[in-house]
Copies of this chain bind each other. A is one copy, B any other.
Amino acid sequence: MASSVARTREIAGAARAVLEEEGAAALSMRRVAERLGMRAPSLYKHVAGKEEIEAELISDGFEESAAAFEEACAGAHDHLATLAAAYRAFALAHPHLYRLMTERPLPRALLRPGVEERAARPVIDAAGGDVDLARAAWAFAHGMVMLELNGRFPPGADLDAAWAAGVAALQERR
C-alpha cells in the first residue's frame, strides 16, 4: 500500500493551500477534496474527520515556527527582542495558520508528539529559564499578534513602539 500517512500528508497539503490562499472560512471538506480531484466523503477513507486535518496543519505550524525561532536565535545577542521579531514575522506571514494554531483549545491527542514542546523551547531559553517570565513574554507576543491581526489597534498606532515597550519591560526582569 502507498502508506496511509502519505495520503494524509497529501490531504494536509491541499488543506494548507486552501487555508493560505482562500482563508479559514474556505477550509471545508468539500473544498479540500476538490483540490485533490475528489468528493468530500472520499476524504474519510484516509482521515477521521476535519479535526484530524486541522491537527496536521497545526503540527506543521509548530514545526515551522520552531525552526524559524531556532534559526533566528542562533548566535543572536538580544534573544528576547530577536525572538519577538521572529514570532511576529511568523504570525504575519501565515495569519490563517497562526489563528488555527491558537484560537481554540489544542487537539493535543491528534498532534504529532513533541511538536508543542519544541516550539516552546526557544521562548523559555530567551527568558533565561524563568518560566514565569517566559509565559508572560509569550502572552505579550501572542496578544500583540492577535490584536494586530484583528485590526484592534487604532489606524495610526505605532506597533513597533508598542512591541519595543513590551520587550524592554520584559528584558529588565532578566
Contact = CB atoms under 8 A, between A and B. Distances in A.
4 smallest CB-CB distances across A and B, nearest first, come from A143-B143, A139-B143, A136-B166, A135-B162
A163 B104 CA distance: 21
Contacts of A139: 140, 143-144, 147, 162, 166
A165 B11 CA distance: 42
A18 interface: no
Nearest to A120: B154
A44 B55 CA distance: 37
A165 B104 contact: no
A87 to B, nearest CB: 11
Copies in the complex: 2
A106 B165 CA distance: 25
Interface in A150-172: 150-153, 157-159, 161-166, 168-170, 172
Contacts of A135: 144, 147, 153, 157, 159, 162, 165
Interface in A70-116: 102-106
Given A143-B138, A143-B146, A146-B143, A165 B130 contact: yes
